[in-house]
Amino acid sequence: MAEIDDFLQGLYRQEVGTITCKDERLAALREAMGDFPKATMLEATCLYKRQHPSFTESAYVLPTTAELKLPFRLFEPVGGNKEAVVLALHGHGAGAEEALQEDSSHNAFALKLVEQGAVVVLSELAGFGARKRKQDQSEQNSCFSLASHLLLYGKTLAGLRVFECARLLDWIGETRRGNVGCIGFSGGALIGLLLAATDERIKATVLSGFASLMRDSILASRHCLDNYIPGLLAIGETPQLLELVKPRALFIESGSDDHLFPSESVKHALHESKWGEAHFFAGGHQVNGTKAIPWLLNELGKEQQQRGTV
């Protein structure tokens, strides 16, 4: 019935952005995502190390809670800029492996970062690949079952993923030098935005296939449950969330034919937030990277120069 639509539209107009102070928004965002207990030790176990022609690949597992271990791969280019570390956050699909595949919507963005000289940390987000629940092994992911369980405890799947990425930043901080940036695609871009908003260790952020108004994306059609955080619209629509990254660098890329996160809505969000650079390319829901990757490495290089002059 139309009255249901009218009711939801009225809620949207009434509730969006009712928290106006930046500090209060950040506090509310952290609370909405939920908190998780840290593992007592911050020590990653190396599973293997392989030498490729132009880079070294190492696989690790890092305890994040008493029960959870985060698998990730570290890619270090031969002769590259060891001062630029990029956290690569994959979207929906087969998991982290897609960020290494040319024929994926991810367009092998993790490998392209390595090829252009960055140290890349590619983790497997909870609910994908080897981190699915037993009951979901025949499914593409465990997002629905994980998210629905966590919501009953006042926690969220997005919050768990952000928490694990923050623990990875702890490990990076103890084992490596240099500035850290992140690039996320689609659902991984949501995690990148939330991480950058709540953790100032992220110095530059790229969001790909994302950043439309929620009104035009996750509220306009059926999306995965991992996109939904209780009370998020009261904290702010996408422009207000983008503003939380200020003054650190932000870049958004969007395909003109992206059916999940429409590019016209991305332009609206950017215009309203007055923060961030952008590349709008001919294409669909996919990573492009032609401008975003050089921008990210340049921003991390500028950060390093600034640190060197302090």
pLDDT per position as a tens digit, 155-191 = 999 999 999 999 999 999 999 888 999 999 999 999 9
**Which pLDDT band, with edges at 50, 70 and 90, does 310 fall under?**
very low
Q: Alpha helix (H) ranges present in 56-177?
A: 109-115, 143-151, 157-175
Write down the pTM of the prediction: 0.96
pLDDT at 256: 98
Looking at residue 139, what DSSP letter applies?
S
Which residue has 């016209």 as its token pair? 264
- How many Å apart are CA 50 and CA 59, to the nearest integer? 9
- How many Å apart are CA 229 and CA 34, to the nearest integer? 10
State how far the alpha carbon of 101 is from the alpha carbons of 93, 126, 233, in Å. Answer: 12, 20, 35
State how far the alpha carbon of 73 is from the alpha carbons of 59, 100, 260, in Å. Answer: 4, 11, 29
- How many Å apart are CA 79 and CA 99, to the nearest integer? 22
Beta bridge partners of 180: 85, 202
Q: What is the pLDDT of residues 104-127, one digit of tens each?
A: 999 999 999 999 999 999 999 999
Identify the helix (H) or strand (E) that includes residue 309: helix 292-309
Q: Are 255 and 285 in contact (CB under 8 A)?
A: yes
Q: Is the pLDDT confidence value at 151 over 60?
A: yes
Pairing of strands 119-123, 84-89: parallel
The amino acid at residue 224 is: C
Q: Residue 58: helix, strand or coil by DSSP? A: strand
- How many Å apart are CA 139 and CA 281, to the nearest integer? 32
Q: Is the pLDDT confidence value at 152 over 60?
A: yes
pLDDT at 177: 82
**Which pLDDT band, with edges at 50, 70 and 90, does 305 fall under?**
low
Q: Are 203 and 300 in contact (CB under 8 A)?
A: yes
Q: What is the pLDDT of residues 182-218, one digit of tens each?
A: 999 999 999 999 999 999 999 999 999 999 999 999 9
- How many Å apart are CA 152 and CA 225, to the nearest integer? 13
pLDDT at 79: 77
